[in-house]
Structure 1
Amino acid sequence: MFDNKETTNIQQLGEFGLIDHLTKNIKIKQPTTIKGVGDDAAVLDYAGKKILVSTDMLLEGIHFDLAYTPLKHLGYKAVQVNLSDIYAMNGTATQVTISLGLSSKFPLEAVEELYEGIYLACEKFDVDIVGGDTTASKQGLVISVTALGYADENDVVYRNTAEEGDLLCVSGDLGGAYTGLQLLEREKLVYLENPNIQPDLEGKDYIIERQLKPEARRDIIELLKSIDVKPTAMIDVSDGLASEILHICKQSNKGCNLYEEKIPLDPMTYETAREFNLDPTVCALSGGEDYELLFTVKQSDYEKIKFKMDFTIIGHITEASAGCNLITKSGTVHALKAQGWNAFTPPNA
């Protein structure tokens, strides 16, 4: 978790002293931020834009394990998973609020390390911290982030607007975060059995980073705008590719054909999955936490996107009666099923 011999007990600062300490260096960058931290509420002015709001909560022992998650990475990730939701609406993220539940095991230095990652993410994505809360927690570390943003009314993209014949696309590659998690869990067990054995993570940097330090895909939104392509529907891949496709199809009242051979897999993801006797395709379909963007576009936009290396066409939308199907590499057809993350399933179930 955090190892520092000289630590400061948060009780010495108190709640308001802690907030002042963590926010004293905030510099406002967004023109939409009129008033940030320091009053009863933030004041924002979006000048007629449609406001976008998304909230996520991360709980120790459920969403992250401090045995192998550096606090700086955790802070960075907590912001990223929320910004991803704003980009999935085809919007611009502008502000976040940060709320923490802290157990007595966390000294000030640990919270500072967490905030280093938070500040790094906000700096990289031009986002202002405009508020939040801190409280004591008996259940370990709790992180709640609310992201705000905006978009012109005509630019907002929803999940329920895919049309028959649309091309199904996804950014980046999939399954890396899940295989990275399997590797970290394995090394944790090895360490618990023998603390003298050092973790064997050599050559696995990419999938470890996919799990511990994901990147929200603002660049994909910017790319699509630069080539004058507006998705017909969009969602971020937080719970696994299959789950997200089914969300779009259900809410749009459509079916789909997804082609297994088209699903983008990084070689390291593929090799690591095989090492764990896992099907790489299943890792992509059900693993989750990739935070890539899944979206549909009109067939008439094919010429604009066909040579773009940042995303892959993986299938197409069909009429609802055709169902949601996975076409395997051998050509067989299976009903697409979601087996991804369920927040209310016990960790060992």
Structure 2
Amino acid sequence: MLEDKNQERTSLEKLGEFGLIQHLTKSFKLNHKSTLKGIGDDAAVLDFGGKKAIVSTDMLVEGVHFDLSYMPLKHLGYKSVMVNLSDIYAMNAIATQITVSIAVSNRFPLEALEEFYAGVALAAELYKVDLIGGDTTSSTKGMIISVTAIGEANEADITYRNGAKPNDLLVVSGDLGGAYCGLQVLEREKEVFKVNPNNQPDLSPYTYIIERQLKPESRKDIKGLLQGLEIKPTAMIDISDGLSSEILHLCKASEVGCNLFEEKIPLDPTVISACEEFSIDSTLVALSGGEDYELLFTIDQKDFPKIKGNPHFSIIGHMTDKNEGANLVSRSDTKIPITAQGWNSFS
């Protein structure tokens, strides 16, 4: 669906900065007792009592992290929140608040920002987080988004990257590679559209992978699932930059090695068929694609019976002694050193 180019446009100048903030955030309600003061003062006030506060920030830049020719603004608002909540869940914590800051050029009318904030509002509602502040300013070119996510956890529950031990099992939630494959489809259709603007592509076969790219979901459920299984991960990280990069982060922080088994990497059938269509290797896509926002974690080997066969998780390898390094064990049983080929915003 292409956007209606004849929509009514309201100049942001009419509202001014504070009027704009008030207009865009007037419908946000507070859900958490820990939010003593949200939007409307110089700073938000949070009270976590005996719990620890967890904070993470990410920035998204037009032309680097997103392309508005196929990314609807409502989806972008939603995804901007998901990217940040994922970091909180990767600490085995509960996300409670977000701040959203945007810089936009004068090509964006009020209605465009309303769309963006509608996505933010949907994410806040579904994931039960409070929008408590942010900033708006002008940009000379395009759109820049910065979201900070705040969460809480009991100190005993917090999971860092540095707790993995040799012989721990390496586990991942969900499946990998979908977001990258969705991006390939969208990029291809963008090029087709440039040549023939009247072409209406049939994207129905790619619904799952396009949604993985445009409207990813953070794994809020994993903390509860693991608690229900009575499993405390020894180390955890979210998969934003690709499986290979995240494994290397865990290995470095925990000072261990790893054997990752190629045949165990979970791939959705639509990812496999898309990889065949684009003539790209599905393992490489899972290793380097990124933006899946699944959780990668390690567990003690004694917890194997608790997680074995669980449909939410795949055991994809085990940690080894640091001297053995991080390796991919191929389907032909060859060990290949894992290298970080994930997303690099400066490349």
The whole-number CA distance in structure 2 between the counterparts of 1:23 and 1:307 is 44
Counterpart of 1:187 (choices 189, 204, 218) is 189
Q: After superposition, where does 1:62-73 map in structure 2 within 5 Å?
A: 62-73=64-75
Counterpart of 2:227 (choices 225, 228, 244) is 225
Deviation at 1:5, TM superposition (A): 2.6
Q: How many percent identity over aligned positions?
A: 62
- After the TM superposition, which parts of structure 1 deviate over 2 Å for at least 4 consecutive aligned residues? 1-5
Cross-structure match for 2:98: 96
Cross-structure match for 1:21: 23
2:241 aligns to what SS in structure 1?
coil
Deviation at 1:308, TM superposition (A): 1.0
Cross-structure match for 1:129: 131
Cross-structure match for 2:218: 216
Deviation at 1:139, TM superposition (A): 2.2
Q: Is the 8 A contact 1:187 1:200 kept in 2?
A: no
The whole-number CA distance in structure 1 between the counterparts of 2:301 and 2:141 is 50
Q: After superposition, where does 1:101-180 map in structure 2 within 5 Å?
A: 101-180=103-182
The whole-number CA distance in structure 2 between the counterparts of 1:31 and 1:298 is 35
Q: Which runs of 5+ in 1 are unaligned?
A: none
Q: Is the 8 A contact 1:171 1:310 kept in 2?
A: yes
Deviation at 1:222, TM superposition (A): 1.0
1:290 and 2:292 equivalent? yes
Deviates more, 1:9-18 or 1:281-290: 9-18
2:155 aligns to what SS in structure 1?
coil
1:47 aligns to what SS in structure 2?
coil
Q: Is the 8 A contact 1:233 1:248 kept in 2?
A: yes
The whole-number CA distance in structure 1 between the counterparts of 2:221 and 2:18 is 37
The whole-number CA distance in structure 1 between the counterparts of 2:201 and 2:249 is 38
> Considering only aligned residues, what root-mean-square deviation do their CA atoms show, in Å?
0.9
The whole-number CA distance in structure 2 between the counterparts of 1:277 and 1:163 is 37
Q: Is the 8 A contact 1:286 1:341 kept in 2?
A: yes
2:157 aligns to what SS in structure 1?
coil
The whole-number CA distance in structure 1 between the counterparts of 2:242 and 2:266 is 13
Q: After superposition, where does 1:214-293 map in structure 2 within 5 Å?
A: 214-293=216-295
Partner letter of residue 298 of structure 1? D
Over residues 110-138 of structure 1, what are the superposed CA-to-partner deviations in whole Å (9 max), with x where a residue is unaligned?
10000010000000011000000000001
Cross-structure match for 1:344: 346
Deviation at 1:4, TM superposition (A): 4.3
Deviation at 1:197, TM superposition (A): 1.2
Q: After superposition, where does 1:295-306 map in structure 2 within 5 Å?
A: 295-306=297-308
2:233 aligns to what SS in structure 1?
coil
Over residues 7-54 of structure 1, what are the superposed CA-to-partner deviations in whole Å (9 max), with x where a residue is unaligned?
111111111110010111111111110000001100100002111000
Over residues 222-269 of structure 1, what are the superposed CA-to-partner deviations in whole Å (9 max), with x where a residue is unaligned?
100111101000000000001000000011110000000000000000
The whole-number CA distance in structure 2 between the counterparts of 1:25 and 1:206 is 31
Cross-structure match for 1:47: 49
Deviation at 1:202, TM superposition (A): 2.3
Aligned residues: 345
Q: Is the 8 A contact 1:235 1:293 kept in 2?
A: yes
1:163 aligns to what SS in structure 2?
coil
Cross-structure match for 1:35: 37
The whole-number CA distance in structure 2 between the counterparts of 1:335 and 1:319 is 14
1:154 aligns to what SS in structure 2?
helix
Instruction: Please report the TM-score for the alignment, with normalisation by the length of structure 2.
Output: 0.98
Over residues 310-337 of structure 1, what are the superposed CA-to-partner deviations in whole Å (9 max), with x where a residue is unaligned?
0100000000011111001111110011
2:123 aligns to what SS in structure 1?
helix
Deviation at 1:199, TM superposition (A): 2.5
1:204 aligns to what SS in structure 2?
helix
1:203 aligns to what SS in structure 2?
helix
2:74 aligns to what SS in structure 1?
helix
Q: After superposition, where does 1:303-342 map in structure 2 within 5 Å?
A: 303-342=305-344
Partner letter of residue 105 of structure 1? R
The whole-number CA distance in structure 2 between the counterparts of 1:82 and 1:266 is 24
The whole-number CA distance in structure 2 between the counterparts of 1:62 and 1:52 is 27
Instruction: Please report the TM-score for the alignment, with normalisation by the length of structure 1.
Output: 0.98
Cross-structure match for 2:10: 8
The whole-number CA distance in structure 1 between the counterparts of 2:22 and 2:53 is 28
Deviation at 1:145, TM superposition (A): 0.2
The whole-number CA distance in structure 2 between the counterparts of 1:24 and 1:209 is 29
Partner letter of residue 149 of structure 1? G
Q: Which runs of 5+ in 2 are unaligned?
A: none
Deviation at 1:166, TM superposition (A): 0.2
